[in-house]
Structure formats: C-alpha cells, structure tokens
Amino acid sequence: MLLLVVAKGATTKPWELATTTTFFQTVRILGGAVTAAVVRHFITVQSKFHTTEIRRRILRAFESAEREAHLTGAHTPLHFAIIGGGPTGVELAGAIADIARRAMSKDFRLIDPTQARISIFEGSPRVLGMYTERLSDSAKRQLEELGVEVHTKSRVTAVEQGRIKVGEEWIPTTVTLWATGVAASPLGRLLHAETDRAGRVPVEPDLSLKGERNVFVIGDMASLKDVAGKPVPGLASAAMQEGKATAANILRDVRGKARVPFRYWDKGSMATIGRNRAVAQIGRLEFSGYVARVLWAVVHVALLGGARSRFMVLREWLWARYTRERSARLITDNAYER
C-alpha cells in the first residue's frame, strides 16, 4: 500500500483514483502492482482473504491426490512452489511443511503427505537477504531440516498454469505461491519525476517530491535512505512511520512551522520457520531457533489489543503446542478460483 498526499497549490497533476479532499490537502491511496502473469497463475499474499485461499488450495491439493490415488492407484506428485525467499516466503514454506509433516501426516490412507515436495525459489544469492548472513544461513538450514528445498540464484522467468520456468527448465507445480511482494505502482511515472529501476520515486528527507514541496510520496512508491545511508525497507512498519511523519509535517505547514526530516526507526525483524524455529534481528542482537520463536510469540502477543485477545491467542498456541494439533483441516468453499 502506498500513500500520496498532495497539498493545495501543488503544480503536479497526478492521477485520479480514490480521493478525499479537505481544506488543505488531497489524499490519494494506491496499491502496489503485480504482473499480469502473476494475477493469472499465482495467488499472492496480500490479505486475510488470500491466506484463507492459500490454505484452501493446499488442503484441496492433498484431498485431490487422495481421490486420484483411490481412482487410479497412484497420484501426481505434490509440489508446493514458493516464489520469493523473503520473510513471507520463508514463513509460508515453514507453515506448509508443518501442515504436511505434522498436522496432516496421518489423515490419509492412500497418500503420504510427508512426501510432498516444498520448494523456495529465490533469485538472489540467499534467502532473507535483508538479514545478516549468519541469520540467513540459519534460516536456510532450519528450512532444510523441515524438508524444504531452498533454491537460491534461481530466478523464475516464466509462469503457466501448473508449472514454472526457472532458467531454461520447466518445473511442474501443484500450488504456486507468489511471495516476492509487490512493485511500486506504475502510475508513479505520471508524476513526471525520475524513478529507480523498481519504479519508485526518490524523495527529499521530509518525504516530499523533489522539486515539488507540496507533494509527498510514501510507502511502496517512495525511494529514500535512512540516516545511516541504508535504503528504508518496503515494510508496513516503515510505511506507517512515513505516514505519521507526513501528517505531522502537513500540520507543521498549516501552523507555519518548519518541517522535520523523516527518521526511520528499525524496530527489528522476525521470521518464523515452522513450529519451533525462527530468526530474529533486533538492532545488533541476533536470535535463531527456539529462542527466536519464543521471542516472536512474546512480541506478537504483546502487540495484540486487549487482554481477551491475548488470552485467546495464548490458549490456541498452547493447545496447538501440547496436543500437536492445528486447525488446519477446514476447507472453505467461498474463496475464488483463478
């Protein structure tokens, strides 16, 4: 998600989309973009609805394999392919491995879910490239312990229904999940500003467009560096900080005060890898394995609103942990089919 704020009096005339006008500004909100091939053949991870659909497709793949084995005596090998080795891809792979290796390992008579192939395809040299090399290597090792195949330097060059092309090789897939995130909206080019290779717009320290003091660009569409000279990551936490900073600077303009440069606060990063595995990086501190998983759980429970929500989540987690059961078997029918 990105946010473009255009103060009254701006000379740039950006596109019209979702518009809300107040006495001093116009706010336009756009989503990130994915390619047409992704929309046709992949399911992305962008909302709760998408995660429900992902679960449905995974469970239905096992059910279809069981049915095929019943009718023919054999079934097409199951292959769950995840495109992208960032936090989303790593967490997806770990979750699918947990479902196949534990939650559903004894649910079928004719197929063995534990034999399902789970693969990550990452174009860069390592998974979790935004983490330190030590944590990246730890994540790869933990994934492989779960039976996940990790393919680095493996860029997907073409996609079709039921298969993907990696380099010059076509690989059959049962379910393919797109976990590389989204690109900046192509509408950003309509600002008539320079863009980087990813289509993002370079901005000033106060998040305004270069040469257009009254235009602010934040989120997926903005390209900027923090005080240490490192690119601000395209994460929801960063976009939220940018949104608050932009709103504060607009209020300063209204009150006749000087703007304050944006300062990104890195609150740390965590990625879970299945039941008892995770990696976490908080400042200079690094954690991996079970300790990181416990830390992840503590942080996420603490961020929940209300004691009731915390209690319910803790109860579900404790039940899943000590019974080794998960609410993974419900197949919903109201999801879409691509």
* Catalytically active residues, by annotation: 91
Checking 258-261 for CB contacts under 8 A at 24+ apart, the result is: 259/206, 260/206, 261/205, 261/206
Secondary structure class of 231 (helix, strand, coil) = strand
Asked if 32 contacts 187 with a C-beta cutoff of 8 angstroms, the reply is no
What is the chain's Cα-based Rg?
Answer: 22
Q: What is the per-residue burial (b if ≥16 Cβ within 10 Å, else e) of 249-266?
A: bbeeeeeeeebeebebeb
Strand positions, DSSP E, the chain? 2-7, 18-21, 25-30, 43-44, 79-83, 117-121, 148-151, 156-160, 163-166, 169-172, 175-178, 201-202, 208-209, 212-219, 222-223, 269-272, 278-282, 285-288
